[in-house]
């Protein structure tokens, strides 16, 4: 173990500014902020070339070693240490030898409401927004070891991150109703096998119904046991979401009961749901008897279910067959506007939602409300919290204000119940929800 790693475990109390001074010294002397405990151990054993199985960084050690009885002065020192590590390139979402990120450790140890957790959330937000800017702007990077220019696409960044995570944990947990966008740590030395792994992962991604929409739309879906699943056992929708759907339905009708709503917005009550799935929210919408109820659905098996259950013949229902990217622009040209819009699709990601926002601002009535199934990064609490802030920032750029109401979700969705016979994920290939609290979004114009 290096002196840096020992320092970050706070061997002595009180935690004074001397800790920060020593940390700055080590970093200025050239020790990377991402220098892992595993690298230090391999160095001591003379195994520097051995592939790392995990990445336990100084930030992980700080989060593991935080005393519960910190004084105000000690807390300030720790905050400054964390900020200093980030200023030198510490990774907010690297995985340690227990499969945890620094934020996971803080959450598990009861520090979720602490300034330390918030610093990591803010670092995650900065990293993800910067990564998006880099990819959108097609910036060029100089490789330190080769001295050449490297064009980095978003797909390549994601695949590289997946490779890193594959070597850090045996089982990768991918979110299915949202995109888990993670910060990319560029390695100065890339093994020759990386290109083969990238190609392999690229093909796996393309062939994965949860990763690629075209694959999903050609995948057989099965309705069974209160769930809609793929023939590969991916959970598309499940009835544990009923409470969320009920709250979401009430939300998108909310403005129709508010005194401030302009009369012209109430002449017709129009509602749009994007993604029928099991029809949970659409059944709830019908119970409220809107003037017009639009359902956008692309999957042929779900469209068959819609037809079998008589949705095409309901007098106030219009089924838009096809992807929303293809069907919703026509509503704009026809001047059809909505009191409420809900979005819940499968195999689409946050980048798709950004495209959807372009249409939402044109389709909502001035008093209208938009909501969506908020599963953004919901397999880890820290990523869920990061995307809560990112969504807020992005929607604000559209002149939309998002507020969140916290809802408790079934405990049997949590990882600690996976070995329980009553786990919600029994028979499901990959859980798409792992958080204790659901952030229910309500979005409207300022």
Q: Where are the domains of the chain?
A: 3-134, 136-214, 221-445
Q: In CATH terms, are 3-134 and 221-445 the same topology?
A: no
pTM recorded for the entire structure:
0.85
What does the pLDDT profile of the chain (446 residues) look like in tens digits?
799 999 999 999 999 999 999 999 999 999 999 999 999 999 999 888 888 888 999 999 999 999 999 999 999 999 999 999 999 999 999 999 999 999 999 999 999 999 999 999 999 999 999 998 887 754 444 433 433 333 333 444 444 444 444 444 444 444 444 443 344 344 444 455 567 777 787 788 888 999 899 999 999 999 998 999 999 999 999 999 999 999 999 999 999 999 999 999 999 999 999 999 999 999 999 999 999 999 999 999 999 999 999 999 999 999 999 999 999 999 999 999 999 999 999 999 999 999 999 999 999 999 999 999 999 999 999 999 999 999 999 999 999 999 999 999 999 999 999 999 999 999 999 999 999 999 999 999 99
Helix (H) / strand (E) element for 243: namely: helix 242-252
Q: Which CATH superfamily is domain 221-445 in?
A: Vaccinia Virus protein VP39 (3.40.50.150)
Residue 171: how many other CB atoms lie within 10 Å: 8
Which residues does residue 406 pair with via DSSP β-bridges, in sequence order?
439
| Structural tokens at position 163 | 């490779």
Residue in 368, 93, 61, 410 with CA at minimum distance from that of residue 242: 410
Q: What are the DSSP E strand ranges found in 188-263? A: 221-224, 227-230, 235-238
For residue 217, the tally of other CB atoms under 10 A from its CB is 18
* C-alpha to C-alpha distance for 149 and 239, rounded to whole angstroms: 50
CATH number for the domain running over 3-134: 1.25.40.20
Cα distances (angstroms) measured from residue 234 to each of 65, 143, 177, 223 = 38, 39, 11, 12
């Amino acid at each position: 173990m290096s002196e840096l790693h020992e320092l970050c475990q706070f061997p002595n109390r009180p935690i004074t500014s001397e800790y920060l001074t020593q940390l700055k010294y080590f970093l200025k002397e050239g020790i990377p902020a991402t220098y892992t405990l595993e690298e230090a151990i391999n160095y001591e054993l003379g195994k520097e070339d051995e592939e790392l199985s995990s990445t336990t960084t100084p930030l992980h050690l700080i989060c593991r070693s935080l005393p519960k009885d910190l004084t105000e002065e000690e807390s300030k020192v720790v905050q400054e240490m964390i900020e200093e590590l980030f200023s030198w390139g510490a990774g907010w979402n690297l995985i340690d030898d227990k499969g945890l990120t620094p934020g996971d450790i803080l959450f598990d140890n009861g520090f979720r409401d602490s300034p330390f957790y918030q610093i990591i959330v803010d670092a995650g937000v900065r990293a993800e927004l910067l990564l998006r800017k880099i990819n959108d702007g097609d910036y060029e990077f100089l490789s330190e070891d080769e001295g050449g220019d490297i064009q980095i696409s978003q797909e390549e960044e994601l695949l590289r991150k997946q490779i890193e995570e594959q070597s850090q944990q045996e089982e990768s947990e991918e979110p299915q109703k949202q995109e888990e966008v993670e910060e990319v740590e560029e390695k100065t030395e890339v093994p020759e096998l990386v290109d083969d792994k990238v190609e392999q992962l690229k093909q796996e991604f393309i062939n994965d119904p949860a990763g690629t929409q075209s694959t999903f739309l050609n995948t057989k879906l099965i309705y069974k046991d209160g769930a809609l699943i793929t023939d590969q056992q991916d959970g598309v929708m499940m009835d544990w979401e009923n409470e969320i759907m009920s709250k979401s339905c009430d939300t998108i009708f909310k403005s129709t009961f508010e005194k401030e709503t302009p009369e012209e917005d109430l002449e017709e009550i129009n509602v749009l749901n994007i993604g029928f799935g099991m029809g949970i929210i659409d059944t709830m919408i019908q119970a409220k008897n809107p003037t017009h109820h639009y359902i956008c659905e692309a999957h042929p098996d779900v469209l068959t279910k819609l037809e079998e259950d008589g949705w095409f013949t309901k007098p106030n229902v219009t089924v838009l067959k096809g992807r929303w990217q293809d069907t919703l622009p026509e509503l704009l040209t026809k001047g059809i506007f909505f009191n409420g819009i809900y979005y819940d699709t499968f195999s689409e990601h946050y980048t798709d939602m950004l495209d959807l926002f372009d249409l939402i601002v044109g389709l909502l009535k001035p008093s209208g409300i938009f909501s969506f199934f908020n599963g953004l990064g919901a397999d880890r609490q820290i990523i869920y919290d990061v995307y809560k802030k990112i969504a807020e920032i992005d929607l604000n750029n559209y002149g939309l204000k998002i507020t969140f109401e916290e809802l408790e979700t079934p405990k049997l969705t949590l990882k600690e119940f996976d070995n329980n016979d009553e786990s919600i994920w029994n028979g499901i290939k990959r859980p798409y929800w792992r958080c204790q609290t659901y952030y229910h979004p309500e979005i409207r114009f300022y």
